[in-house]
Structure 1
Amino acid sequence: MDYKSVKRFVPENASREIPPGNPACPVNGRDVYRALASHKTIVMACNIRIPLVIPGIMRAAKEMDAVVAFELAKSEGDLKGGYTGMTPEIFVRTIVAAAKRAEFDTPFVIHGDHITVKNTTEAEVEGARALIAAELAAGYTSFAIDASFNEIPDNARITASLAGPIAERGLGLEVEVGEIKSAGTEAHLSTVGEAVELMERLTAAGVHPDLLAINNGSKHGNYLEGEKISIDLDRTGEIYRAIHDRFGVSIAQHGITGTPLHLIGKFAEYGIRKGNVGTQWQNIAHAGLPPELMGRMREWAKGAGKDIKFATKPFKAEIDAVPAPVASMIEKAAYDEAKLLFQAFRAAGTAKIVAGALVGRA
């Protein structure tokens, strides 16, 4: 499908980052989430730590006519580049350049994942405010303010204080209740009462999110060997029913890496409309990188006492410069995985739905 007619709906902050002749079509996350809210489908949001996977994801999205989101969390890409070496500006330029090479004109979202505020100090809050400003300037079209580390009154207050510039532009907004832990750790699962309280407080403050991320038992990162995957979909559905009709909010699912496709296929039935996949793309890139390079990355991580993901930044130049056959192999693996995930997410044809909603609204 030709999406040239949709280009006029690209938000101003994103459109100025697209050179003439580039087909990239980053649309407003809010437009996407609202257009798909009544459909039992899920927007796949891909945390891109290693850009080599982007062409494969784009190719699959175009083939399946699926809206996709490309995202970086604060830890992955802050003002100093996080542990990926990509600042917001570098990230957007990377996506836009990839769209040009792939002739990718299917509508997509650029999302600021996990803009975390881990405590109530002024320095922590202002750091998040500066990151939001940088992401807006770079061309992001959707944002996740994550103050879930704090008690709900503080979570709501901090979220409301940071959401102003996003709301002024009418861009996509995700918030979070119940901190989502890393694999191998336990955390309190979000409750209906907590979700409703956060939404009530945000509504009273004039903040109207599109998505709520909850802790329903999923984990970030790779699951440990033998670790059980236990996602409470019944609880998810209860929370969704409590917040959707009253506040117009759907559920964002984090921590999908390692989840069986047959279980992912059920997510849309429980109000999940955005699903984050991050570590899986890293795993695919790592599996395709030259063994000698991966060996040095593992040695670096072991010596630093850190997870292998932290080797991404110091080895970024080498990763980006792998030989063309290696890049092609990683692209193919990402394409194959993306097709399977788009199918599980029931995302085929969502780009046409979003385009129809935008054009019909004009």
Structure 2
Amino acid sequence: MSNSAEFVRLLEIGRPPNIQKLFPNSHALLVSGKVIDRAMIAKGGAMTIAANARSTFVVRGALQAAQRANSAIIIEIARSEGGTNAYCPVSLWNMATVVDSICNQLGITIPVAIHADHFGIKKESDIDLARVEIASIFDAGITSIAVDASHMEDDKNLLANIELNACIPGWAGLETEVGEIKGTLGLSTVDDASFLIKGLNAHGICPDWIALNNGSVHGLEASGQGIQVELTADIHRALAPYGTSGAQHGTSGNSSERLRAICKKTATTKANVATALQMVSWGIEVNDDGNAISDASGRFVKIPGEGVSEEMWKQMVSYADDKGWKGGDYKKLNLPFENSLCSQEKEIRDRMCKRVEDFVYNMLVNVFSAEGTADLAKQAILEAGSYDLGSKVGRIEDPADWTKEKIVARAAELDSDKGPEGDFDD
């Protein structure tokens, strides 16, 4: 396929300008996030994995799985993970280069979006720096972004999204968020989600995705509560006229049954998976839900002969112990150990990637129903004749009803009980 006339045409018209400029001779089909969303919609009842690129091993395994499943895929990193205070080796500024290189090396031909997840705005004074950083990450090959100002009040969230939209190319995939991720506390509602999407629409902004607080958590889901499917479906139905798909955060640890329900009963097309992939690559035992298994002392269970070498795992555990890291803090091992992991024998490196590949392949094919969506994504590009698929809908709301003053007044009428502060970062 990589040398076919059709694929050459896809490379010519399907790659956004920043990707063309950065990688003029590449055979990797890096595309806008819009392309991935449209492919899932075209198939119906499907979502793809947004694989969190905490290490190059995860990236490699996820890409191999997507190629095997003939599925479109998203590779992402959050600002907290890969920003200026990164704890991961893959960053917002090198992720596109890493993905492009691996795609060319492995002959990956499925469409891949490069997503800046949770580009967090915690207060209004963050906006000026965000303008500069957003421009810089698109210069570095980002093709999709999640502007996450959900930490702030509803009016400030909306106004921050409006203000920063000028920094985002119109062709790029766009995600917005309402309600911080904090489990069952402060759940998103139809009203607050509609407020955000309607206000954006009035200003000519039509996000491809919205992320909700629908009961998910980041990291390991231990409560058994998990994603609230019916709440998600209700909100998505209310947003249907605005063409907004769902982005599901906190997927790790939710049962396959619940994730299949998200696929079939909601408008979700993007499912973030981070912690499970990290653990799988290291060789940690996980249950069917992707939750890491711990022993009686609370330590993760490492499977002999899987993932990293036994000696390497001892070093990682010792390093974490010295730092006082437990549970979710193990994510901080990614940056200091990336080069050590790369220095292992090829057999070990390969089995790390293979474990991720098998896990992601199963998710894409048997849970997310994403098999075959690579062809649908390619078809969308060819039919549009462009890397820019445009918005799914036009302006519906009257801008006169959504001035700054009216936004503030409308927000004051919403239920302001958002619960305690949530897990904002990743």
Determine if the TM-score, normalized by the shorter chain, exceeds 0.5.
yes
Aligned match for 2:352, one of 323, 330, 344: 330
Task: For residue 354 of structure 1, report the CA deviation from its aligned partner.
Answer: 1.3
Structure 2 portions without partners, runs of 5+: 284-306, 386-426
Aligned match for 2:378, one of 349, 355, 360: 355
Secondary structure in 2 matching 1:87: coil
Letter in 1 for 2:177: E
Letter in 1 for 2:263: A
Q: Distance in 1 between matches of 2:175 and 2:362?
A: 25
Secondary structure in 1 matching 2:174: strand
Task: For residue 16 of structure 1, report the CA deviation from its aligned partner.
Answer: 2.1
Partner residue, 1:49: 54
Secondary structure in 2 matching 1:16: helix
Aligned match for 1:284, one of 280, 287, 306: 280
- Alpha-carbon distance change, 290 to 35 in structure 1, aligned in 2, over 3 angstroms: closer
After TM superposition, list the pairs within 5 Å mapping 1:257-268 onto structure 2.
257-268=252-263
- Report percent identity of matched pairs: 30
After TM superposition, list the pairs within 5 Å mapping 1:1-362 onto structure 2.
1-2=1-2, 3-8=7-12, 9-18=14-23, 20=25, 22-38=26-42, 39-80=44-85, 82-120=86-124, 122=125, 124-166=126-168, 168-181=169-182, 187-224=185-222, 227-245=223-241, 247-269=242-264, 270-287=266-283, 288-306=307-325, 307-343=329-365, 344-362=367-385
- Paired residues of 1:142 and 1:173 also in contact (CA < 8 A): yes
- The CA RMSD over aligned residues, in Å, is 1.7
Secondary structure in 2 matching 1:111: strand
Q: Distance in 2 between matches of 1:97 and 1:219?
A: 32
Q: Distance in 1 between matches of 2:381 and 2:87?
A: 36
> Aligned residue pairs: how many?
351
- Paired residues of 1:78 and 1:131 also in contact (CA < 8 A): no
Task: For residue 19 of structure 1, report the CA deviation from its aligned partner.
Answer: 5.3
Deviation per CA, 1:141-175, whole angstroms, max 9, x where unpaired?
A: 11000101111100001111112122x43211000
Give the stretch that moved more between structures: 95-104 or 298-307.
298-307
- Paired residues of 2:52 and 2:75 also in contact (CA < 8 A): yes
Q: Distance in 1 between matches of 2:129 and 2:341?
A: 29
- Alpha-carbon distance change, 216 to 315 in structure 1, aligned in 2, over 3 angstroms: same
- Alpha-carbon distance change, 128 to 24 in structure 1, aligned in 2, over 3 angstroms: same
Secondary structure in 2 matching 1:59: helix
- Paired residues of 1:34 and 1:210 also in contact (CA < 8 A): no
Q: Distance in 2 between matches of 1:296 and 1:126?
A: 41
Q: Distance in 2 between matches of 1:136 and 1:31?
A: 17
Q: Distance in 1 between matches of 2:381 and 2:256?
A: 31
The structure that has the greater radius of gyration is 2
Q: Distance in 2 between matches of 1:13 and 1:267?
A: 33
Deviation per CA, 1:259-313, whole angstroms, max 9, x where unpaired?
A: 2222211212211111111111100122111222222222322332341111211
Letter in 1 for 2:276: Q
- Paired residues of 2:61 and 2:355 also in contact (CA < 8 A): yes
Secondary structure in 1 matching 2:94: helix
Structure 1 portions without partners, runs of 5+: none
Q: Distance in 1 between matches of 2:336 and 2:226?
A: 35
Task: For residue 106 of structure 1, report the CA deviation from its aligned partner.
Answer: 1.0
- Paired residues of 2:178 and 2:212 also in contact (CA < 8 A): yes
Q: TM-score, normalised by structure 2?
A: 0.79
Secondary structure in 2 matching 1:105: coil
Task: For residue 63 of structure 1, report the CA deviation from its aligned partner.
Answer: 1.8
Q: Distance in 2 between matches of 1:325 and 1:361?
A: 43
Q: Distance in 2 between matches of 1:192 and 1:215?
A: 11
Q: TM-score, normalised by structure 1?
A: 0.92
Secondary structure in 1 matching 2:336: coil
Q: Distance in 2 between matches of 1:275 and 1:87?
A: 20
- Paired residues of 2:147 and 2:176 also in contact (CA < 8 A): yes
